[in-house]
Copies of this chain bind each other. A is one copy, B any other.
């Protein structure tokens, strides 16, 4: 009899549940629910940097999608019974910390805070905490450089402590009411298993390690003295964060009777520790040593793993190197581009070359595909949303060069695709410069699935075959695999992630192979891209252009005041 694992994938705008056959990875049913609060699930405010989420949507989302996915399975599969579901895994966005009370209950569930954005989940893309990030980075650089060495040298405004410190300063009522703060990647598994209480709560090493400077080498989270220097109250919070965080092979508990009733799932099936979407996406894409899993969406995440018994240097520019953050027993290496699909979407939606119909992705891709590499004379930098890897600089912006009086929209569109490929190659090169060999690239996400031109250009620019994950939902698949592993082999799951990947992951038959003639042109173009990249992106560069984009942003800020 078939066994199924359930993957819950909490995205920015919606949550998805899938039910996967543990024997072969077949995704037998899926359901999606758009969050009810805010604008497409995101609570916005006058401050364009603010982005929050109401935790009530996490509860409603689990209930709605699980009931629906089970109903779909019953309709589709002869003889299906919910009893065949053996485990649950969860992936979420992050860092998305949530203030909770002494019982682990979100403050936003209290009437007095129900409409206060500060009491909700601070969504990954909330950028209100820029000043606090600068402060944390400066203090760590001075007194705890080791904290920064594993996370790209800069503590981000998107991360755990920046957001908490900003809340302390701007919403003291919420801060005072909060007993502690929990990543939603931890809170959702805890909710399903009744382990929300801070003394029971299990934190995942993915969030702790990548976003909260957690490392076993220094006893887990940053020490209380360090945090106290930022704010004494932050120092006090340290005692409420546990010293140990866990990988996805850990079950945080078992599904409660209440949640079993609410969803129709069997009571007591295990729920795995959570992880971020890109990390479980990498698992679902079949990540292994030498395999770079490239998750391409609005931005990209370029994930690798290295056995944790190997000596690995700090790799500058990576968003993090965390033991166990992707697969247990491996360092998880995260890199990425701040914008990929978002740049193409910008050109189509904000510039609308030729108007709405002529300027669709389809039309532009068709026209761009007819061009030869180098034919447009254009070169772009893929920095419209800053540069995550390898420059780690949000204050960078886009650049387009080479326009004549005859440059077309399709030529620009292709230049933007090429720029994103050059950005990807820069990441591959950074891994290899530090001894992490990229032997295979597996892409996933909508663009990888739907745009052959993008994949072909990636192959031509990087000189590597581009493979595509078989699953269109690798994050949810990875989550389900975690559910299968915590369920274990005897229950019909898997003993290890290696076994789970062997059974449940796969590639599409189509592989995009690099073309030698195109590669030759792109080699020349990449040399020019690198020149611009270093000129505008690095302080060390002798030409002193590094400040141009930053000064423009300063002028812009003043103009908008």
Contacts and interface: CB of A to CB of B under 8 A. Distances in A.
A350 to B, nearest CB: 6
A535 interface: yes
A241 to B, nearest CB: 34
Nearest to A357: B355
Contacts of A521: 555, 558-559
A374 B548 contact: no
A138 interface: no
Given A352-B355, A378-B552, A384 B405 contact: yes
A278 to B, nearest CB: 19
B374 A409 contact: no
Contacts of A354: 351-352, 355
Contacts of A560: 372, 375
Interface string A535-554: 10000011111001101110
A353 B350 CA distance: 8
A177 interface: no
Copies of this protein in the complex: 2
B532 A548 contact: yes
A408 interface: yes
B403 A400 contact: yes
A407 B553 CA distance: 13
Interface in A384-412: 384-385, 397-409, 412
A535 to B, nearest CB: 6
Contacts of A355: 352, 354-356, 358-359
B405 A346 contact: yes
Contact of A528 (B384, B525, B548): B548
B351 A409 contact: yes
A281 B351 CA distance: 37
A127 to B, nearest CB: 13
A403 B408 contact: no
A545 B401 CA distance: 12
A549 B401 contact: yes
Given A377-B555, A377-B556, A352 B343 contact: no
A314 B105 CA distance: 79
Nearest to A381: B401
A352 B350 contact: no
Contacts of A555: 374, 377, 521, 524-525
Contacts of A373: 559
A400 B549 CA distance: 11
Interface of A: 339, 342-343, 345-346, 350-356, 358-359, 372-379, 384-385, 397-409, 412, 521, 524-525, 528, 531-532, 535, 541-545, 548-549, 551-553, 555-556, 558-560
5 contacts: A351-B354, A355-B356, A400-B400, A531-B545, A543-B545
Closest 4 A/B residue pairs (Cβ): A543-B543, A355-B355, A398-B403, A377-B556
